[in-house]
Amino acid sequence: MKLTVESDGKIKVSEYYFQTLCMIFWPGAKFGAESETDADSPTVKFTIRTDAAGAVARATIADRTNLCSVERRADFDGARSPSMTVKLAAGSAFLAAGEEFLHYSPSWGILVGVRPAKVASDFLRRGFSAAKTRAALRNDYFLYPKKAALVTEIAQLEARISQPYYSGYCSVYISIPFCPSRCAYCSFVSYTSKKLLDLIPDYVDALCREIDSRFALIRELGLKVAAVYIGGGTPTILSDEQLTRVLTHVAAGTDVSSLAEYTLEAGRPDTITREKLRIAKRMGVTRISVNTQTINDEVLKSIGRSHTATDFYHAFELAVNSGIDCINTDLIAGLPGENFLSFSKSFDRVLEMRPENITVHTFTVKKASEILKHGASVYSRVNKDAGKSVDYSQIRAKASGYRPYYVYRQKNTVGNYENVGFAIDGYEGLYNIFMMEEIHSVISAGAGAVNRLVLPRDCDGNLGEGSGEAKIKRIFNPKYPYEYLKGSDAASSERQIEAANEKIREFYREGAGTDGQ
């Protein structure tokens, strides 16, 4: 796709924002040199000018047979930043042009980015009522009423749940990036070949060193740990002994009995055993994920899951009998080869099983996924089955006593839909809220892990516009296990760990004395 942005240069807006707008209507769009071979893609041009009162944006979309051009204005109102005013003007013009060009209206309007609830939270912190927040989301971002209601409800619940965990807290993420097989839709840094799985013993050695060091750093910084999340990959691919080692190092680093939540993401039913669950329970784990994505065996096989629905039922029963407090189950709406009827049967069956958490993802095409070998046709602007599935899950979940408690969105999701976590009251996945809404720092260990550092907020959660400049920084661990293990002797490993630790210390030193400290 050819994208041009012409501006008077008075107010800077990242070109990435305009790219994300384009992907609302053209999922999978490529820009720059990548797009030169795509002769059939449309051309999009934004023209931005500003004056003392506000910003005027014109969006023009053209291909060989059609041209649409729309101009919109947004005034500076003092409540939003100048760059946000430009974004709203550009988004409004582009939405109108795109709807005219394609005769398609996206349910999330021009609201882009991973964290839609943060936008609603900002309105609520500024004193907006729930009704006024829903109206602002509809009027400024053009959300459908049901999406505005969903995200406002979630923001209200998150504010109540998160309130005790802003100041003085952090959470910990531990990465186990290995799986028994690779799902066709997966883009996570997870490894499945025998050669790479043979790295696991050395990986566990290095990981345990980093866990020890990270918890020592947390104590040095005077932070309390709210939640620990062990994810992947599939952490239960570890042997009983390896899993015990990792959990023992966590227990040595923090009082697990004081954690608000301790999650082990089992994920793949074919890796779950009674003994691993017994170990998890004994070591203090309070939440576990047992994920099937669908109970349609044909679809499971086609997407590369090496288990059946029967395997899932068995693993779920083991989890229930383990005594672990909270079980989460994931499903995916819009999977290739699955229609609404198949999804609804899967969802209804999971509802009957009554896990404390249910997460409904919408199928997303990732650049690194195996499924892209099927070609660009996997991208989908409109997917009626996915839309019906998402709506059905939200209606049925509420009717069955579950509430939506967190939401996130991704680029290139079929139908431009969302991912929503549901929970029985009191069983919300706290780490998901802390991480997605950037409530406090998440300090991480393992390959592909990200230390997501957030300057401490006050007890009302204030940070960012209206309460001092937001300060969020990401420090990345080596992405791949073989990079993580380079020079994996203890001395080299400790130097690598300490280099990241010093960056984390520097972040907190620089933040001392600023608003929110």
Bridge-based pairing state of the strands 169-176 and 224-232: parallel
Return the pLDDT at 183.
62
Whole-number pLDDT of residue 468:
37
Taking the alpha carbons at both ends of the chain, their separation in whole angstroms is 44
Phi, psi (degrees; rounded to nearest 5) at 419? -115, 130
CA pair distance 425, 311, nearest whole angstrom: 28
Please state the rounded mean pLDDT for residues 472-479.
93
Beta bridge partners of 72: 57
Predicted confidence at residue 379, as pLDDT, reads: 64
Listing DSSP states for 167-185 in one string gives TTEEEEEEEE-B-SS--TT
Mean pLDDT along residues 290-297: 91
Cβ(329)–Cβ(347) below 8 Å: no
Average pLDDT of the chain, as a whole number: 89
Nearest to 154, CA basis, from 389, 437, 390, 416: 437
Parallel, antiparallel, or unpaired for β 357-362 and 402-408? Answer: unpaired
**Cβ distance 336 to 302 under 8 Å?**
yes
Mean pLDDT of 188-207: 78
Quick one: angle between helices 15-25 and 82-102, nearest 10? 30
Q: Residue 57 above 50 pLDDT?
A: yes
How much is the average pLDDT of 151-159?
97
pLDDT at position 514, please? 45
Mean pLDDT of 478-492: 82
Res 33 pLDDT > 80: no
Q: Higher confidence at residue 204 or residue 374?
A: 204
Token pair 């203090």 in the structure block, residue: 284
Q: pLDDT category, 469, cuts 50, 70, 90?
A: very low
- Residue 199: partners with Cβ closer than 8 Å, 6 or more residues away: 191, 481, 482, 485
Evaluate the CA torsion angle 94, 25, 387, 100 in order and state its sign: positive
Predicted TM-score (pTM) of the model is: 0.90
Q: Residue 489: its pLDDT value, please? A: 73
Q: What percent of the chain is modeled with pLDDT above 70?
A: 89
Burial class (CB in 10 A: 0-12, 13-18, 19+), 196: middle
Q: Does residue 82 carry a pLDDT above 50?
A: yes
For residues 456 and 109, the model is more confident at 109
Tell me what pLDDT residue 465 has. 37
- Answer whether residue 412 shows pLDDT above 80: yes
To 10 degrees, what angle do helices 130-141 and 145-162 make?
130
Angstrom CA distances, 259 to 38, 188, 213, stand at 52, 27, 19
Is the confidence at residue 244, as pLDDT, over 70? yes
Region of poorest pLDDT, from 128-137, 174-183, 385-394: 174-183
pLDDT (0 to 100) of residue 237: 94
Query: pLDDT-based confidence at 376, cuts 50/70/90?
Result: very low
Q: How many CB atoms are closer than 10 A to CB 222?
A: 8
Helix (H, G, I), strand (E, B) or coil at 76: coil
Mean pLDDT of 271-282: 97
Domains and CATH numbers, the chain: 1-105 (3.30.160.100), 162-499 (3.80.30.20)
User: In whole angstroms, what is the distance from residue 333 CA to residue 389 CA?
Assistant: 6
Span 262-287, mean pLDDT? 95
In this predicted model, which residue has the larger pLDDT, 457 or 87?
Answer: 87
Q: How confident is the model at residue 28 (pLDDT cuts 50, 70, 90)?
A: confident
What's the confidence (pLDDT) of residue 307? Answer: 82
Distance CA 281, CA 288 (A): 10
Share of the chain above pLDDT 90, in %: 72
> What is the per-residue pLDDT for 304?
76
Distances (CA, A) of 150 to 153, 418, 438: 5, 11, 19
Q: Give the pLDDT score at 187.
A: 56
* pLDDT in the model for residue 252: 98
Question: How far apart are the C-alpha atoms of 262 and 423, rounded to whole Å?
Answer: 16
At 63, the amino acid letter reads D
Distance separating alpha carbons of residues 232 and 214, to the nearest angstrom? 18
- pLDDT range class, residue 235, cuts 50, 70, 90: very high
Task: Among 112-116, 302-306, 374-378, name the one with the lowest average pLDDT.
Answer: 374-378
How many Cα atoms occupy the beta-carbon half-sphere of 122 within 13 Å?
17
Question: How many C-alpha atoms does 86 have within 13 Å on its Cβ side?
Answer: 23
Predicted local confidence at residue 337, as pLDDT? 87
Mean pLDDT of the 297-309 span: 84
Cα separation values, 442 from 97, 126, 211, 474, Å: 40, 26, 13, 10
- What average pLDDT does range 482-509 have in this prediction? 87
